[in-house]
Amino acid sequence: MPEQPAQGGPEITELRRSSRDPEEVRRRLQSWLVRRLPAGSAPSVPEVHPTEATGVSTETLLFEARWTEDGRERSEQLVARVAPDRVDVPVFPTYDMERQFRVIRLVGEHSPVPVPRVWWLELDATALGTPFFVMGRVEGQVPPDVMPYNFGDSWLFDASPADRSRLQQSIVEVLAQLHGMDRPEETFAFLRYERSGSTALRRHVADRAAWYEFAAAGLHSALIERGLAWLDDHLPTDEGPTVLSWGDSRVGNVLFRDFAPVAVLDWEMAGLGPRELDLAWLVYSHRAFEDLAAEFALPGMPDFLRRDDVVAQYESITGHTPRHLDFYLTYAAVQWAIVFLRTGLRQVHFGEIEMPDDVDALLRNGEPLERMLAGKYWE
């Protein structure tokens, strides 16, 4: 999930996500590897580096691991995905690391979508303080969240129109490949939301409403609550087949090489639901950054990931005509507002901003969401 820029403008280049000490994490990772690998492996972890370019709710730590295997020294570039500490105002109420681990493994086994190799899953919180899993590091470029890639001074912003178009086509193809997997409700049965509702979409919306209650931490966002009521009033009755939904289908969650995906990341929002969930999230996630760029009088990337273009590309690949996009795009905007609420409270927690008198002032997409609920945003 994306982090929100600072309230005052686009000068912030890093946002605090964790209170963990990297050196302590390095020592504990090394000790954990001693227990994980065979006796005599003598593992070492020279350094640990948290990521800074992208804002995600799960902590992402880059590290090198060295150990002895069959009499030879082995070195692997690895990534640890670590559930956040409760004291650091996590975005989600729970972090099921086994769930994420299984999704990545199964996507790799059942589709051509590129995902990292998963190495180890550790559910014992004593190792690092919270559960985590380790996967292989893939070399590539990721469109940054901080500052957003469309604010300028990023490899994607500076790319040619032809290269941007190629990247856009490639990410739509990823969605088509995910949605084309056979028997998703069987393969990914563990992703079914255990909420009230007669369909996958209704359970999905109920899950997000429960997420809002957690994220608000006893506060009330009048705008988000209006958005949730609007969703209840406009739920499609013909949602179509259920597919694997990536959930956080943003270009900022993909590693690219030569403008083609080499690793699809961040599966903590994965679930089961209609195809349009991912399509709308892809389109709106870029529009949210475009709205922020306009707020700071920046040119942005208005020709990238346009609604009609993405729909036409997806339909051309799959033969499926996306439906009810106004609903799904509004749904995406409401979820982004929940993210902004929670990450805003995190910034208050770390002393980066003051708590505003009106909770809705934390919602960086508040004004666009107001227009969306009034039916005036896409005019």
Catalytic residues: 248
Which residues share a beta bridge with 244?
272
> What's the chain's Rg over C-alpha atoms?
21
How many beta carbons lie within 10 A of that of residue 15, not counting itself?
18
Residue 293's Cα: distance from chain center in Å?
20
Q: At what angle do helices 325-349 and 366-373 cross, to 10 degrees?
A: 150
Answer left, alpha or beta for residue 40, where phi above 0 means left and psi between -120 and 50 means alpha: left
Distance CA 289, CA 266 (A): 19
Q: How many CA atoms lie within 13 A of 66 on its CB side?
A: 7
Confirm if 272 and 244 have CB atoms less than 8 A apart.
yes
Question: Which residues make Cβ contacts (< 8 Å) with residue 300, sequence separation at least 6?
Answer: 150, 151, 289, 290, 293, 294
How many beta carbons lie within 10 A of that of residue 93, not counting itself?
11
Give kind and range of the element (H or E) at residue 284.
Answer: helix 276-295
- What angle is formed at CA 306 by the lines to CA 301 and CA 309, rounded to 5 degrees? 135
Q: At what angle do helices 222-233 and 325-349 cross, to 10 degrees?
A: 160
Distance CA 55, CA 52 (A): 7
Is the N-terminal amide bond of 97 cis, ω within 30° of 0?
no
Confirm if 67 and 42 have CB atoms less than 8 A apart.
yes
Q: How far is CA 69 from CA 59, 66, 136, 247, 296, in A?
A: 29, 10, 17, 38, 54
Which residues share a beta bridge with 48?
63
Q: How far is CA 343 from CA 111, 117, 362, 377, in A?
A: 33, 30, 9, 24
